[in-house]
A and B are shown apart, each in its own frame.
Chain A
Amino acid sequence: MSSGGGAAQIKQNMPKRRDVFALFLILLPWTLLITFWQQLAGCPLIPVPKDNRTGASKANQTGFRLHESCITMNKSITKATQIKYVYQRPPPWSDTLPTLHVITPTYSRPVQKAELTRLTNTLLLIPNLHWLVVEDSVQKTAMVSRLLENTGMNYTHLNVETPKNLKTLKKPRNHSFPRGSMQRNLALSWLREHINQNSSHKGVVYFADDDNTYCLELFEEMRWTRKVSVWPVALVGGLRYESPRINSQGKVIGWKTLFDPQRPFGIDMAGFAVNLQLILSRPQACFKLKGVKSKYQEGSLLQDLVTLSDLEPKAANCTKILVWHTRTERPFLGNEGKKGFRSGTLEV
């Protein structure tokens, strides 16, 4: 009986070890799976660091919580072989310069590719620039995706469709609903989601429409914004330029505009920039959508962020023009289809 009991005991011990072994083997594939899944989920909308930037730039990207060995699932490496030309890369990323987060809402129309192309040519000259392009569309269009990929810039591609009942109707000048607000708000929430408020990342947010014209100097002026900086904007509001009114102490006391100068913030979208920390610390601050007419939407954001006395005037105390509110004509396409001429599938 004792030998039988001993054998049973041994048998009991061995199953125990086998148990553990079996348990280990069961758990191993699951842990492998989970690690793979982590890698996959590690990069949803985060821009991939371009390998030809310096190592310092990668360190600077920690604010975006980038995974160094990030494999981009959503970037198809298309026809790199067919591109014979050379694109100028943006200037190397610097460790000391605050990042400029430039938010550009865009929508599909014949001149869209042209507008984005020439805006790209300007932005490619600015160091430490992160471009957030937000399409007004149901899904990201191939044209914009390809254009952004080919620039070599640090960019984030987003999209949100403005509901049809809120979109401006046939007349492009129907200002009953401010254009681009939903898209700008999406970009702001992206920044809030992806950048930790407590990180050492220094940045400035600027709203750049795709049809305006920007001087290179403008970006350097806004880079050192502490709270909200302001400057004149040319060719807007029916005037040669609109500008903040500065008193002798260099403080903003009002607005030199024709249209309702009594507005709390009588400034155009292109006329101000906000420090990123301010955006992150006031998560409820955004562009109001309902009941806000065009030319008041800028105020709807700024009122939650800053008071008049906190505004920092730039551009030589608001006496220089560094940005123009240019608008591009709608091209006449009336000859399409006439006499059998059709454009076919060429991308324009």
Chain B
Amino acid sequence: MRMRLKLKTVFVLYFTVSLLGLIYALMQLDQQISQLRGELQKLQEHIKTSELAKKTDVPRIYVITPTYARLVQKAELTRLSHTFLHVPHLHWIVVEDAPQPTLLVTDFLAASGLTYTHLHQLTPKDRKLQEGDPSWLKPRGAEQRNEGLRWLREMGAAAEGKEAAALEEAVVYFADDDNTYSLQLFEEMRYTYRVSVWPVGLVGGMKFERPVVEDGKVVRFHTGWRPNRPFPMDMAGFAVSLRFILTTPQARFDGDAQMGFLESSFLQHLVTMDDLEPKADLCTKVLVWHTRTEKPKMKREDALQKQGLGSDPDVEV
């Protein structure tokens, strides 16, 4: 009698435990399925990159970066190049603020592994920031960006056949050497018809600035500073199709523009607010940050150099 009772309870126990086990296993299976789905997605995207890199009819991105000699220049260009190495079909146009190309940038670009064009354009003295000037006093990089545009227009005029067709689809982006760019940003801008826009982080005294989008169109701009500008955006917040640049020869940056109006001086030749194409999930994601690098303190170095005791000036930093 006792034996039989025990067996019954054992069976009941066994049944409940296996039932619980089954429920648990189903939950695990469910998780595994979603995980596999995720992995599948990632694999598909991975295949897409390798295909993207091999495809030749993908729009090219021309990135114009003005740069100037200072202690952190090589560091800035180095980490910027690392970002670009991940972006397929990117052509980097580096324009130095110098009377002639410097050895540092020449050697750096040659070793970078990127497709590049090395230009130079000296900023006239009266437009240049002096030592001790706050960074916002004069617009920077206008001459260099214009030089980049000039080169593009020259190339556009000389191109024919397939190359000309490729240029029709290309996009131009102005990337300063101290900002931070995520990889998605370049895929967002790649298919731009006229001018595409997106939010920029850590700029204008705010966490981010962005165009405000309603019904798929840009209606106004969320910005903390002078929102009445024609285009209250940062240089890093828009990209222009090369076709429009080639067909609008008067579009250039005005080096004498008032503080904060440099972008507007260029864009107003090309587009109105209505025609802007919002990217980055209708301008709700921050994919680029307006980071700035501290100027390293070199007071002691300067003093030491005078005594001939500083770090070896032959070593390139």
Q: Spell out A's residues near B (CB within 8 Å).
A: 15, 18-19, 21-22, 25-26, 28-30, 32-33, 36, 50-52, 71-73, 75, 77, 80-81, 83-89, 110-111, 113-115, 117-118, 121-122, 124-125, 152, 213-216, 232, 234-236, 238-243, 256, 258, 319-321, 324-329, 331-336, 338-339, 341, 343, 346-348
Contact = CB atoms under 8 A, between A and B. Distances in A.
B229 to A, nearest CB: 14
A84 B317 contact: no
Contacts of A348: 201-202, 207-208, 286, 289
Nearest to A325: B296
A213 B188 CA distance: 26
B131 interface: no
B76 to A, nearest CB: 8
Given A77-B38, A86-B187, A117-B180, A22 B10 contact: yes
A216 B82 contact: yes
A331 B179 CA distance: 12
Contacts of B206: 333, 335-336, 341, 343
A235 B35 contact: no
B184 A324 contact: no
B247 interface: no
A83 B45 CA distance: 9
Contacts of A346: 199, 207-208, 210, 284-286
B49 interface: yes
A29 B14 contact: yes
Interface string B218-258: 00001111000000000000000000000000000000000
Interface in B177-229: 180-184, 187-188, 199, 201-208, 210, 222-225
Contacts of A125: 82, 85-86
Nearest to B309: A258
In this complex, the member of A51, A71, A331 whose beta carbon has the largest number of chain B beta carbons within 10 angstroms is A331
B110 interface: no
Interface in B268-287: 284-286
Nearest to B33: A77
Contact of B7 (A18, A30, A33, A331): A18
Contact of A84 (B46, B187, B310): B187
B316 interface: yes
A32 B17 contact: yes
A122 B79 contact: yes
Contact of A114 (B34, B52, B201, B296): B201
Contacts of B208: 343, 346, 348
B202 A111 contact: yes
Contacts of A71: 28, 31-32, 35
Contacts of B259: none
A343 B207 contact: yes
Given A73-B31, A234-B317, A335 B184 contact: no
Contacts of B300: 238-239, 258
Q: What 10 A-B pairs are tightest by C-beta distance, nearest first?
A: A335-B224, A335-B205, A29-B17, A77-B38, A114-B289, A324-B75, A213-B75, A86-B49, A114-B180, A343-B207
A25 B10 CA distance: 7
B162 interface: no
**Main SS of chain A's interface residues?**
loop
Contact of A75 (B35, B205, B310): B35
B137 interface: no
A347 B311 contact: no
Given A26-B13, A117-B182, A329 B293 contact: yes
A331 B187 CA distance: 27
B74 interface: yes
B37 interface: yes
B49 A88 contact: yes
Contacts of A232: 315
B299 interface: yes
Contact of B207 (A28, A36, A77, A333): A333
B78 to A, nearest CB: 6
A22 B6 contact: yes
A26 B46 CA distance: 49
Contacts of B297: 238
Given A71-B35, A121-B79, 7 more contacts: A22-B10, A29-B17, A77-B34, A238-B301, A319-B315, A327-B296, A343-B206
A52 B38 CA distance: 12
A28 to B, nearest CB: 7
A33 B199 CA distance: 51
B291 interface: yes
A200 B10 CA distance: 48
7 contacts: A29-B13, A86-B52, A87-B49, A88-B183, A115-B180, A117-B180, A346-B286
B14 A25 contact: yes
B223 A341 contact: yes
Contacts of B298: 238-240
A80 B49 CA distance: 16
A235 B311 CA distance: 11
A121 B183 contact: yes
A137 to B, nearest CB: 19
B21 interface: yes
Contacts of B299: 238
B315 to A, nearest CB: 6
A346 B202 CA distance: 12
Given A25-B11, A77-B35, A122 B292 contact: no
Given A121-B86, A333-B207, A36 B24 contact: yes
A75 B35 CA distance: 9
A338 B299 CA distance: 37
Given A110-B207, A329-B292, A89 B286 contact: no
A339 B227 CA distance: 11
In this complex, the member of A77, A242, A327 whose beta carbon has the largest number of chain B beta carbons within 10 angstroms is A77
Given A121-B83, A321-B316, A321-B317, A33 B207 contact: no
